Structures are given as C-alpha cells and as structure tokens.
Structure 1
Amino acid sequence: MSQSEQRALVLGGGTMGVGIIATFLAGGWMVDAVSRSAATREGLAAATARALQAMGKPADTSRLATHATLSEAAWSHITIAAETVTENLLLKQKLFAEMESLARPDCVLASNSSSFPISQIGKDLKTRGRMMGLHFFMPAHLIPLVEVVRSVHTDAALADRVGALMSALGKRPVQVKKDVIGFLGNRIQAALMREALWLIEQGVASPEDVDATVRLSFGFRYAAAGPIVQKEHSGWDTTCAVAKIIYPDLSNADGPPPVLQRNVDEGRIGFKTRRGFFDWNEESIARERARYERALRKCLEIFREEGIV
C-alpha cells in the first residue's frame, strides 16, 4: 500500500495531537482526527497548517477529516490509531476498549502516554498484541525521535513494523523493549530535572544559571553525541571515578521538591499562567516560542546532514 493510500486516526486535537497529525499528513497519509470539542475541531486545520509550514511542508490539510466521536471515523481504512488524550488512566482504558471494538483486526492501537505503563492501559483488551506505546515528544512535528513501547503482550514483529513506518515518516524510532514507567526519554529527563530542581531549592544556583549550564556545557555536546558515545570520547574510567564521588551526594527524593510544589500551588506553571520561574506576557511568550522553534529546526538540519533522521 502506498503512503497516499494509508490512513491514520489521531484521537485528541491538542498541541501533541496537532504535531502527530502534521507528521502523518507530511508523509502523504490521510488522517481522521477525533475531538469532542467543537472549538478544537474548528481550529484543527489552521493549527495543523501552521505545523506543516514549520516543517517546511505545504500547508495542505485537504487529507484531514475531523470527527466528534470515534464511531464517525473511516475505521475500515485505518491502519494505525494513535491516542493523545490527557493522562487519565481510566479514560485511556475506556477509549482503547472503544477503539478495539471499532478497528479492523490488523489496525495498530497506540498510545502517546508519557507515563502510564502500556500494559496498564491495555490490560482489559482482547487483542493486546496489537496495542503499544507510540510516544512522541513535543513539538511532535519537529522532534525527530519517537518511542515505540512494547508491553509484555505486544507483538514484537508488529512493533518493529511500526518503527519502520515511523522511519518512512522521517522519524527516528527507538524500541523500548520493556514496559517501564516513563519509558526511555522521560526517565532520563526526570533524573536530570530532579537534580536541577534540587540545586535551585538548595540555593546552589539560579534557574537562569541551571539552564545555561545544561545548554552550554554537556547539553551542547548532546547535540553532537548522546551520553554513551560522549563518554566513549572522554573515557569510562574517568566517569567511573567521578561516579564514586558524585552519585552518593545526588538527590534521591521520591517526590517533587518543595520549590516545584510551591510553584504549582501558587499557579506558577509557566506560559499557561504567564508565570513560572520566570514572568511572561503575550509578547515574550511569542518571542520565546519563535526562538525555540527556530533552534529546533537548526538542530534538525544538522541531524539530517548526518543522516540520523
């Protein structure tokens, strides 16, 4: 089947859903997008067109169909369905049960959950072999990596085929072979964030200097090589020696640090409320989003030159 004949379903029309829709459209697929919100459906084509433009693709959304309910979608033609709704386990389980009842037997059922184990989401399905995680990173249309996450029930060969499908769409898939909480990216990111917030909490450094340290030292290197290859350059003997000194002193908190909980309690959650660790207004938010997107595109150019994606 050619790309132009393939059809995907994306459940949810938020920021993540828009990026995933744009990814499929850019690859020549047809897409059915499902959202209960009339306002979301009305704005979906325009939001997707902007994402396509950011990808350097024509802003053509003519192959996008929007629906208010799952039952309205063209299930007889859909080969993969991706769920992107809010992180609510019971809601996800309910929606996957409905998708299973509507989807043809060979349709892949995938969740973009960033935290719940896939085996929990699909625990009551009758066809758990075709259910897996397909975890994109925001913004999904620009970040090249996608995690293909297997539960103990997922058909491994099918997960490999979904990975190949993602490659054909210009993504770099990684196979997460064990259904651990947070998968790969979010576990690694959470470890860094725990220590970064502890350093802020303890008054070791300001939020600005924490960001600068990550971006302009080891984070700068990570654009050129991941942490494993980077230590192949510098030597594991040094890493081992440093680990003996630093690891025992790192934060081992089993929950959010006070500085984070305090911000949340006070409504300091970032762009959404115009304040977080930093204060924002509409102008500064627009400027930061444009800068961020521009930087991501430049990094993507480097990865494409190297043939990574």
Structure 2
Amino acid sequence: MIKNISVIGAGTMGHGIAGAFAMYNYKVSIYDRNRKNHENVIEEIKIELEFMAEENYIEKDKIYPTLSNIKIFSNLEEAIKNADYVIEAIPEVLELKQELFNKLDKICPQHTIITSNTSSLSLSKLMEHISAERKKRIMICHWYNPAHLMPIIELSYFGNMPEEIFSDVYSLYLNIEKQPITVKKDISGMIANRMLHALAREVFYLIEIDAVSPEDIEKTLKYGPGFRGATTGILESADLGGLDIWCTVEDNLFKELNGSKKASDLLKQKVNNGKLGLKTDEGFFKYPKDTKEKIKKDFFRRLIIQLKASKNY
C-alpha cells in the first residue's frame, strides 16, 4: 500500500502535486536543489489552500493539517528514504531526468515506485540505464497544470510493470479524487498534450492568416467545442451528431487544415520578441502588472467552479 510520497522538484508542478497528496492525508516529503523553490514551497501551497477555502472548495480547518503532512528536505537521500512512491517534477531535460532516475534507482528502497511527470520524454529513454528489477516499478504519471486543481492524470502502462503495481498507482489517484487514464503506448506527448497541441496548431494558424482575432478565437473555443467538451467527450459528441455527418465534414475539411510539422511561426516570433505570456506581461494578450494576481485567481476560480460541477455530474 502506498502511504509515503516523495516529490522531487518544488516548482510550478511539484508544489501543486505535493499539496494535492497532502490534502488527502498522505505524508509528503519534498526535495528541490533550487534554493528559492525550497524556501517558498510551503508558502505557495498555503496560498493555494487558502484560496480554495475562500471559494468553499475545502474547509478552512483543512489547511493546517494539509501543511503538517508536508516536510521539506535539503538532502535527497533523506527525502526518499521512506518513500513508497516518488514522482519527479524537475525540468524537462532528458539528461537531468536520466541522472536523477539512475540515482533514485540506487538509493530508493526496493519497493519504491519511481515515476516521472514528463509528457514529452520517452519512458524507455528515461529508464535506459536502470536495473532490470527496478524497471518493473517505473512509470510516467503526468499531471496537468495547475496540478492541485486539474483532475486528469496520465498513467503509462507500456508492459514493463506488473498489473498489481499499476493497480496500486491507479488506486492512489482515485483516492485523491483525480481522474486517471491509462496510456498503452510509449508515444511522445502522451494523450492530452497531443490533443491539445493538435488544436493549438490550428488556432495559431487561423490567427496567422488573419481569419479571426485572438479575442474571437478564445470565444469560439469557450462557447463552442470547449463548452460542450467540459461534459461530453469527442466520441460521444460524434455519436450524438451522427458519424455519417462527421465523416462527410472531415472529408471536406481535412485537406484545408494546417499540417505543419513545426511550431507556428507566429508562436516563434512571440518567443523571439520576449512576449512569453503572463510571466513577461504580454503574449497574445497584455497583462498589466497590477492585474496579474487577479488574472491568476480568476483562472483558478473558474477551474474550481468546474470541479464543483463535475462532482455532481
């Protein structure tokens, strides 16, 4: 049974992952060699819990017990010595992750399940130099950002792991009220990111050719496919609409869609100009410094509303 969780990396994803487990009374150890992340992680989790309480998603008296379930370590060996389950959330660099996995293989207890939050790197590459016995206990467990609010978890099940170990991990995520899916092939991007970026490719292209404004493309998704997609999957939508109609539309439309094999020129231009989105005050839209915190809270608030609705669905 999985009881003790260790999270390696306390940045954008790691702190949210740690908080999500701690909320459900799992004991969580956090290690991050970045001093700033190390020092700020508890405060970041506290702020997010307080906001969830303000929005009546959790009880206020749950904040302290959640934080008390978390311990911060400055030593990796100490952080993982009692771990039943380790998830790494370090930068998306293959060599860094391989180095960490090799180290974890050597110093983790034999029963420990070692996992990665990657969505773009191959599991076979990550465990290239791992011992044969440990490979049975290695997998990808990909969270979506923000980790403490997004329900989906993508779990790799590529044939290296016995069914009973996979079932333990699957149950772990059900216990913290996530929605795990099983990814059966070692493919780049897992499932959710492949779907997301297929959509994003067309979105960027439509703006590039000036077919629609950024404001209206957002409205199109939120009040069109995205509005329906919050409660109805794409396969069910196709069934309800009629597969014959979908087939005809795709025959007519697919030859017109963007089939680029690289990132959008428009996206690259934004990046080259230092317009990276919220963190630089401008991306496709502008974010005045005095409104940035409100924008983030509004985003979290919308997700909490969806979470509340999904529990009744």
Structure 1 length as normaliser, TM-score?
0.94
Question: What does 1:17-28 correspond to in 2, within 5 Å?
Answer: 17-28=14-25
Does the aligned pair in 2 maintain the 1:71–1:102 contact within 8 Å? Answer: yes
User: Partner amino acid for 2:63?
Assistant: A
Does the aligned pair in 1 maintain the 2:7–2:28 contact within 8 Å? Answer: yes
The one of 81, 98, 107 equivalent to 2:103 is 98
Counterpart residue number, 1:255? 262
SS in 2 for 1:78: coil
Does the aligned pair in 1 maintain the 2:141–2:155 contact within 8 Å? Answer: yes
Counterpart residue number, 1:32? 29
Distance 1:196 1:116 in 2: 25
Deviation at 1:39, TM superposition (A): 2.2
Deviation at 1:158, TM superposition (A): 1.8
User: Partner amino acid for 1:31?
Assistant: V
Whether 1:16 and 2:23 are equivalent positions in the alignment is: no
User: Partner amino acid for 2:174?
Assistant: S
The one of 83, 95, 100 equivalent to 1:78 is 83
Distance 2:276 2:233 in 1: 29
Counterpart residue number, 1:41? 38
Does the aligned pair in 2 maintain the 1:34–1:68 contact within 8 Å? Answer: yes
The one of 59, 63, 88 equivalent to 2:63 is 59
Distance 1:74 1:204 in 2: 52
Deviation at 1:152, TM superposition (A): 4.3
Structure 2 length as normaliser, TM-score?
0.93
Deviation at 1:163, TM superposition (A): 0.9
Distance 1:13 1:68 in 2: 12
Distance 2:42 2:231 in 1: 35
Does the aligned pair in 1 maintain the 2:114–2:137 contact within 8 Å? Answer: yes
Deviation at 1:282, TM superposition (A): 2.1
Deviation at 1:232, TM superposition (A): 1.6
SS in 2 for 1:209: helix
Distance 2:45 2:193 in 1: 26
Deviation at 1:74, TM superposition (A): 4.6
Question: What does 1:1-309 correspond to in 2, within 5 Å?
Answer: 6-53=3-50, 54=52, 56=58, 58-60=62-64, 61-75=67-81, 77-126=82-131, 127-306=134-313
Distance 2:168 2:197 in 1: 29
Deviation at 1:302, TM superposition (A): 1.2
Distance 1:194 1:294 in 2: 27
SS in 1 for 2:29: strand
Does the aligned pair in 2 maintain the 1:50–1:59 contact within 8 Å? Answer: no
User: Partner amino acid for 1:52?
Assistant: L
Does the aligned pair in 2 maintain the 1:110–1:131 contact within 8 Å? Answer: yes
Distance 2:216 2:136 in 1: 46
Distance 2:75 2:186 in 1: 29
Distance 2:259 2:115 in 1: 33
Distance 2:41 2:294 in 1: 23
Distance 2:156 2:163 in 1: 10
Deviation at 1:117, TM superposition (A): 1.4
Task: Give unmatched runs, 5+ long, in structure 1.
Answer: none
Distance 2:80 2:193 in 1: 33
For residues 195-224 of structure 1, give each alpha carbon's deviation from its aligned partner in whole angstroms, at most 9, with x where no partner exists.
Answer: 000111111111111111011111100112
Distance 1:247 1:68 in 2: 53
What value does the CA root-mean-square deviation take over the aligned residues? Answer: 1.4
Question: Percent same amino acid at aligned positions?
Answer: 28
